[in-house]
A and B are shown apart, each in its own frame.
Chain A
Amino acid sequence: MKIAVVRFPGSNCDQDCLRALQDGLEVDAEYLWHKETSAAGYDAIVLPGGFSYGDYLRCGAIAAFSPVMRAIIEAANHGTPVFGVCNGFQVLCETGLLGGALIRNRSLLFLCQPVVLKIENNSTPFTRLLNEKSLLRMPIAHGEGAFYADGSTLAELEDNGQVVFRYVDEHGEATSEANPNGSMNNIAGICNPAGNVVGMMPHPDRSWDRRLGSEDGLQLFKSLVETLLSVAA
């Protein structure tokens, strides 16, 4: 089993993702350079957070056109699990692998703070070890993380169970106060209709080690590894 962590110019959570996999779970993971034209040989692909191409123009917009993304879109369409975190989520939306878009936070300010997430869909490769409605704690750190989609896309996401994570309060309620950035329906992460492509704004790569105050993020990476092992078996 081998997992790729893509490095775009300006990625800055690439090392955090790699360590979560290598140190947190001791799985075989390596960087995949943005100029590569093939994603062959990888069982899953992680698009890390950061500011790819400085996030100039629009977040994730330039990265979406990089050579490696062509290969990743192809792999995703063939069922390879693809996981976008933060800037990675923005890239996935820009490529169209995921619906909707991420826009400026409601406060117009960059926000770095802990959030509580509720699992709304535990059938994706990244959430299968978690109970539906269970709560996870991890940080967000973004300036443009408000999830937006037009009415029909939003209805489709909700109806198909493509909403994977929602911002909630300590009691699991998706209140307006628990919504840090003004995301529609408190959406923190979604998947594609097939469920193999998942994007989320919060950072599991910063909550995989007890020293960081939460290990909840590790559950997502562990789920992926379990999924890959069960496919292989």
Chain B
Amino acid sequence: MTPTITPELVHRHGLSEHEFAGIKALLGREPNFTELGVFSVMWSEHCSYKNTRRELKKFPTTGPRVLVKAGEENAGVIDIGGGWAVAFKMESHNHPSAVEPFQGAATGVGGIIRDIFTMGARPVFLLNSLRFGPIHDEGEYGRKNRKLIRGVVAGIAHYGNCIGVPTIGGEVYFDESYNGNPLVNVFCLGILRRTEIARGAASGVGNAVFYVGSETGRDGLAGAAFASRDLTEESRADRPAVQVGDPFRGKLLLEACLELLASGAVAGIQDMGAAGLTCSTCETASRGGTGVQIDLALVPKREPDMSPYEILLSESQERMLIIVQRGKEEQVKRIFEKWDLPYSKVGTVTNDGFMRVLDDGSVEVEIPAKQLADDAPIYEREAAPPPAPESIDISKLELLDPKRSLLQLLKHPSIASKNWIFRQYDHTVRAGTVVPPGSDAAVFYVREANRFLAATTDCNSLYCCLDPREGARIAVAEAARNLTCSGADPLAVTDNLNFGNPYKPENFWQLREAVEGLAEACRRFGTPVTGGNVSLYNESPQGSIDPTPTVGMIGLIEDEAWITRQYFRDQGDIVFLVGEVGHEIGGSLYLKAVHGRKAGAPPRLNFEKELAVQQLVRELIRTGIVKSAHDCSEGGLAVALTESCISGSEKIGATVGAPDFQGRPDIFLFNESQSRIIISVAPEAAAQVESRAEEVGVPLVRLGEVGGRTLTIDAGGTSFVWSLDQLHDPWYFSIVRALAHQDL
């Protein structure tokens, strides 16, 4: 009993009249109900990027190290030398996490891991970029946000820890714009030989199509379409759409697929993620320039009486589609059986270009695969800038006690230590974590390849809210700066574009500005974009989220001796600021957290200056004299210095300052001007730093000395003294205290 196709039904599937007309023209007839479902998911934003594809084309995607480009496969692949390559990608699971934080986050991790091993790569580490509304508030949203963060963190831990891929870093930010609409962006990197990249193409007419993994249930029905809608109060009613992750099955699938790919029996492999069986069949056929025919009667099912519509659109987790080389079927079955995985031969590769789905022999779906997968209509949405943000007149800004302001900033959860979070993630499994969570970038030793990789995720959404183009440029610069501080050369980028409803002109304007900013910065840093994900419709009843174009960047550290951490090490070491003291206070966390104002123009990024600062720091690191390097970002110099004092296993103080600074002490301490890195070196190396900076024309400020049990800062003639314990307590325990006690 299938419903008749009415305009109302078409609308409910998120398809416009114009799109429906296109479908009829493509088929030469009316689609049936199942086909309508198939189109609705394939032509949703999540699968087709119909609203953003034109913008995404602006990214630089090529480079000497790029082996698989953005959009070609499930993840981009970069050459790291010595015959080895890495596949990496970031993806969002925002909407499922808003509805059911534990399972939403867990299945997000599972999905990104499958994307990576689908490329033939062994997943080696995870990062995640998380955003929540404030967690210290007493009210309804505070309560909800605490529930969300607990659930998301536990979900990530559940999946990542169980499957045995360490979560070694990332970022967590808090802002009112994420009330009830958290962002969960997960990043995974895997290692493979550069000659052994697996492809998601249904190649070889006559080859068998196998289904392997968990049985199909009614999980996450139409999740891809779900992710492409506003999150309203009604979403509560959508709740059965949430999928349940099974990391144990995920682990078996991971091992079986890697063994399978190594056996040479596989012609093509594709994860069943969003839009499950639908997406994997038409995409593999499209990539292979072939057709695929499957019979739903052969699909392993968990529940009785599932309709073709339900089977095709199910988003049950831990499933793969595998195209097997002819004659290798028995070999493949043996591997599935070894790993105790359900499997079934569900169809074959055909030469007619159709995605043809049978239901126990009778044709249920017959759609040209290439058009379905690749020819969704492309839109250029209306764009209009929102009202300009309120400007800041510093002379009218109340001068508060800077001593207290620093403590307030350290307590702000965006700055405070994330120990409560990363202690729950297994970050040491796979025996390769060299710099664990809590420094500028995580560093991992990939034993197979004998390579040290650094990775980070960055985005200051406060800047992006005030100026998306500048904010996006800074996101890339900051990611590169974090890698530089760890001793790495930046290699490539994956991005996760989180925005509101694109039909709102200001949201689309923000998206375009951010994409152009990212594209420009990626060109300047020589870091191509190799893939990523777009998440639109991030809306809560309060409005759109701040634009959040998260940047995931990886880098390579050629020599183990270059690995550098953010915290001070030895008494008597000299502290330098590479870059200028700066003065820009617009868009700073100081303004927001201390003065309660989300206002002003964010700091400007000067590429030449930024590149020169990073180049100098990398060069100094390579001479072996740099003992610590830390990027100045949210909270400015004062917060960066504090972190250098208290984030190591041994706390150590510093006496620093710039007595000839002219201006307000709060501007000195908390401004967020870009292109600044704090380094420390042994006293005998100080002259070398100074002369080298002068030679290359990079501004340098000798701030002072490491040592003692206080942080003492002279801000233009006024001295401020904090004891280390006074700084450590709010920073270390802020998040722990907000979350340690259960509330309903």
Contacts and interface: CB of A to CB of B under 8 A. Distances in A.
Interface of A: 9-10, 12-13, 15-16, 19-20, 23, 49-51, 53-56, 109-113, 139, 141, 143, 203, 205-206, 208-209, 211-213
Contacts of A205: 431
A88 to B, nearest CB: 14
B720 interface: no
A51 to B, nearest CB: 4
Contact of A211 (B424, B427, B429, B560): B560
Contacts of B432: 211-212
B351 interface: no
A206 B423 CA distance: 16
Interface in B422-443: 422-434
B431 A16 contact: yes
Given A110-B426, A112-B425, A9 B248 contact: yes
A54 B252 CA distance: 10
A111 B164 contact: no
B332 to A, nearest CB: 19
Most buried by B among A53, A139, A211: A211
B433 A53 contact: no
Interface stretch (B155-163, B502-510, B725-733): B155-163
A51 B162 contact: yes
B340 A209 contact: no
B447 interface: yes
Given A19-B447, A211-B434, A141 B428 contact: yes
Contacts of A56: 248
23 contacts: A12-B164, A12-B251, A15-B430, A16-B430, A16-B431, A50-B164, A51-B164, A51-B248, A54-B162, A54-B247, A55-B162, A109-B423, A110-B424, A111-B424, A112-B428, A141-B161, A141-B426, A141-B427, A141-B428, A211-B432, A211-B434, A212-B428, A212-B431
Nearest to B560: A211
A9 B339 contact: yes
A9 B337 CA distance: 12
B91 interface: no
B478 interface: no
B428 A139 contact: yes
Contacts of A9: 248, 251-252, 339-340
A13 B163 CA distance: 10
B246 interface: yes
Contacts of B427: 112, 141
A212 B434 contact: yes
B248 A211 contact: no
Interface string B556-567: 000010000000
Given A54-B247, A113-B423, A212 B433 contact: yes
Contacts of B429: 12-13, 16, 49, 141, 206
Nearest to B649: A114
B445 interface: yes
A210 B486 CA distance: 18
Interface string B233-256: 000000000000011110110000
B447 A10 contact: no
A152 B560 CA distance: 51
Nearest to A24: B431
Nearest to A217: B431
Nearest to A23: B447
Contacts of A19: 431, 447
B339 A203 contact: no
A206 B422 CA distance: 17
Contacts of B247: 51, 54
Contacts of B249: 54
A208 B431 contact: yes
A46 to B, nearest CB: 14
Contacts of A143: 161
Nearest to A52: B248
B431 A53 contact: no
B251 A10 contact: yes
Of B248, B249, B252, B430, the most chain A CB neighbours within 10 A belong to B248
Contact of A10 (B248, B423, B431, B433): B248
A26 B458 CA distance: 41
Contacts of B424: 109-112
Those 6 A-B pairs whose CB atoms lie nearest each other, nearest first = A12-B164, A54-B248, A51-B162, A16-B431, A141-B426, A139-B428
A203 B428 contact: yes
Contacts of A213: 434
Given A51-B162, A110-B161, A206 B428 contact: yes
Contact of B162 (A10, A15, A111, A113): A10
Given A54-B246, A113-B423, 13 more contacts: A10-B162, A12-B163, A19-B447, A50-B164, A51-B251, A54-B247, A110-B157, A110-B424, A112-B427, A206-B428, A206-B431, A211-B560, A212-B445
Most buried by A among B162, B247, B434: B162
Interface in B157-211: 157, 161-164
Contacts of B423: 109-113
A67 B421 CA distance: 38
A132 B283 CA distance: 62
A87 to B, nearest CB: 10
A212 B161 CA distance: 18
B499 to A, nearest CB: 33
Contacts of A206: 428-429, 431
Contacts of B447: 19, 23
Contacts of B252: 9-10
Contacts of B445: 211-212
A179 to B, nearest CB: 15
Nearest to B162: A51
A139 B161 CA distance: 14
A55 B432 CA distance: 24
A213 B427 CA distance: 13
A19 B246 CA distance: 27
B487 to A, nearest CB: 14
B230 to A, nearest CB: 34
Contacts of A111: 423-424
Contacts of A54: 162, 246-249
A211 B561 CA distance: 11
Interface in B410-428: 422-428
Nearest to A209: B431
Contacts of B425: 110, 112
Contacts of A208: 431
